[in-house]
Amino acid sequence: MTDTAQRTWRKRAWLVLAWLVLATLVCNGLRDLIQPDEGRYAEIPRQMLARGDWVVPHLNGLPYVEKPPLQYWATALAYSVLGDHGWVSRLWTLLLGIAGVVAVYGAGRRLFGVTAAALSALILVSAPLYLLVGQINLLDMGLTFFLTAALLCFVLAQRDEADASQRQRWMLLCWTAVGLGFLQKGLTAFAVPGIALLAYSVLRRDLALWGRLHLAAGMAVLAVLVLPWTVLLGLRDMRFAEFFLIHEHFTRFLTNEHQRVQPFWYFGMVLVAGCLPWTVLMLRQAGIALRDNTRVGTPGAVRFDVPLALAVWAVTVVVFFSLSGSKLVPYIMPAVPPLALLAGRALAQRETQGPAGLGSVLPLALLLGVLMLVAQPVALAVAKGGSLLPMYRAVGPVLTASGLLVIAGTGFAWWMLRRGTSVLTALLGLAAALHLACLILITGGNSLAALRGAPGAVMQLQGRLQPETPFYCVGTYLHVLAFDLRRDCILVEYTGELQVQFATGVPLSLAEFAAKWSAASDAVALVDASFLPRMSEAQLPFKVLVQYRDHSIVVHP
């Protein structure tokens, strides 16, 4: 790429980044929180700020030490500035998702050149899995960013062109990213880099690599970042530290206690579907990097193989989480950025080959658009009734619009390439179409929030639920409702994920609840649909204020 072309692309890159930030923030403000995850990760930092307890996270007034506190801290600080709103709760995830794209571009430019870096960033920002998960208030995008930062800093430190001072600087940043990854989601931030490093050094037969890690300084960085909160957690109650370190890592990984059982090949299929239309290109380049593992270098040394390191990392992520007894779609996210870099590098090498240089990309993009068009009719035909029909009908127009946009973007890219335009310019149009289609899909799919929660419940309760009014959750708990109400509820015959083992008298039995309800002059309860008949059988006085698909709100008459 010439100097003039580089300046032109830099201007376009700033425009793309501005579009990315603006579109993401606008769509964020249009969406409700989805039950349970988004409500949970919005409510915990709200309680942290309200209680002033920055060591032990709480949910519904109970200690909730499943995950470390970095995202809670960041969100609580955002609440203190912008207010405790749902759109604010997503900012940490959204901004780190954007930061991940910027990091891939910055590292790719140093490793493979401007064109490859730009293509890698476009691939990442238009990979549906990365984009959709990055729009949801979960912990996984934060972990993905810190693990990606650790990988990229490690590669920049170990590349043959790095001098001693650069190696030290990048390795310290790598260790910092690992430590922050621990504070984001725990020991996974240690396990994935450690296994990937071991696998790479074995494949390359490069033991000298271990001497270039700046281990002493790295351990000091980890100690500064990791130990203060972990020690304070144990000092508050050793059971908290044991639950976090043992149960939430080893028990969750080794067993299916959380009922998230999927076959071993599950994450492979998630990666294939979630990275369309880039999947075949990504996997082919990873395979080439693994196959072309040569040890050419200066006498007495082994050349550091950047593509191999990226491929080994992606494989490590897939295999590591495939071995886990608990599997959820977002877990596979840290494999996507290195695959995007490999794919961007390959496309940059084919810049003059026209449509043929893209291989499977355009056909798969067309297939993705067609699948979006037919998704609703197929879902309606297969469902043949059931509780999900309203959602299928609601998202139909959104899927149609998204599918048409993807097809149009595919046609635009093909047309531009046929005219002799560069791969970068053509794929800019395709990536923009894919990105916008995903944003339309997730914004238009807001009906999922209503189906999973109790829409309008806050409006119904505003005049009935006073600060002194007892509020019960009978057989259920809605994180989003708790966040919207800004208050806890009294649990009745429900534990779910709430860590009641750290509290006494929680939850109430139905008999205990019946006694309190009968004696009250005013009370409100959120009741699971299966418990409503039991309240009638117990002859409890109540009036149904509003009834939803799975829940009812009842009041003391």
Residue 295 has pLDDT above 70, yes or no: no
Task: Determine the Cα–Cα distance for residues 553 and 123; give it in Å rounded to an integer.
Answer: 46
Task: Indicate the pLDDT class of residue 153, thresholds 50, 70 and 90.
Answer: very high
Are 334 and 143 in contact by the 8 Å Cβ rule? The answer is yes
State the DSSP H helix or E strand holding residue 523, giving kind and residue range, or none if neither.
none
Residues 6+ apart with CB under 8 A from 173: 149, 153
Sign of the torsion angle spanned by Cα atoms 296, 300, 306, 308: positive
CA torsion through residues 130, 134, 137, 143, sign: positive
Q: 121-139 burial, b if ≥16 CB within 10 A, otherwise e?
A: bbbbbbbbbbbbbbbbbbb
How large a percentage of the chain has pLDDT more than 70? 87
Flag whether pLDDT at 449 surpasses 70: no
Confidence check: pLDDT of 298 > 50: no
Beta bridge partners of 62: 59
| Nearby residues of 294 by Cβ (< 8 Å), 6 or more positions away | 305
Q: Where are the alpha helices (DSSP H) in 419-454?
A: 423-444, 447-452
Least confident of 165-174, 396-405, 417-426: 417-426
Residues 115/424, Cβ–Cβ less than 8 Å: yes
Q: What is the pLDDT of residues 485-518, one digit of tens each?
A: 898 999 999 888 887 767 777 898 898 988 998 8
Average pLDDT over residues 119-148: 93
pTM: 0.91
Asked whether 220 and 178 are in contact (CB, 8 A), the reply is no
249-260 per-position pLDDT tens digit = 556 655 555 545
- Please compute the mean of the pLDDT values over residues 207-236 and round it to a whole number: 92
Residue 297 is predicted with a pLDDT of 44
What's the rounded mean pLDDT across residues 294-306?
A: 63
- Residue 41 predicted with pLDDT over 90: yes
Instruction: Give pLDDT tens digits for 1-31.
Output: 556 666 666 676 677 777 777 888 888 888 8
User: Residue 497: its pLDDT value, please?
Assistant: 80
Q: Any residues with CB less than 8 A from the CB of 557 and at least 6 apart, and which? A: 541, 542, 543
Helix (H) or strand (E) holding 552: strand 551-555
User: How far, in Å, CA of 276 to CA of 283, rounded?
Assistant: 11
Give residue 477's Cα distance to chain centre.
23
Gap between the Cα atoms of 411 and 345, Å rounded: 23
Quote the CA–CA distance of 301 and 396 in Å, as a whole number: 58
Q: What is the mean pLDDT of residues 357-369?
A: 86
Is 37's pLDDT higher than 90?
A: no
- Mean residue pLDDT of the chain comes to 85
**For the chain, what percent of residues have pLDDT higher than 90?**
41
Which residues share a beta bridge with 409? none
Which one, of 357, 358, 362, 339, lies nearest residue 108 by Cα? Answer: 339
Choice between 389 and 280, residue whose per-residue pLDDT is larger: 280
CB neighbours of 99 closer than 8 A, spacing ≥ 6?
Answer: 145
Give the pLDDT score at 397. Answer: 79
Question: Is 285 a residue whose pLDDT tops 80?
Answer: yes
pLDDT of 478 strictly over 70: yes
Distances from the Cα of 189 to the Cα of 144, 147, 150, angstroms: 9, 7, 9
311 confidence band (pLDDT: 50, 70, 90):
very high
Q: What is the 3-state secondary structure (H, E, C) of 19-38?
A: HHHHHHHHHHHCCCCCCCHH
Q: How far apart are CA 177 and CA 33, in angstroms?
A: 29
Confidence band for 79, pLDDT divided at 50, 70 and 90: very high
Looking at residues 172-199, what average pLDDT do you find?
94
Tokens 């006073």 belong to 466
Average pLDDT over residues 225-239: 89
- Answer whether residue 294 shows pLDDT above 70: no
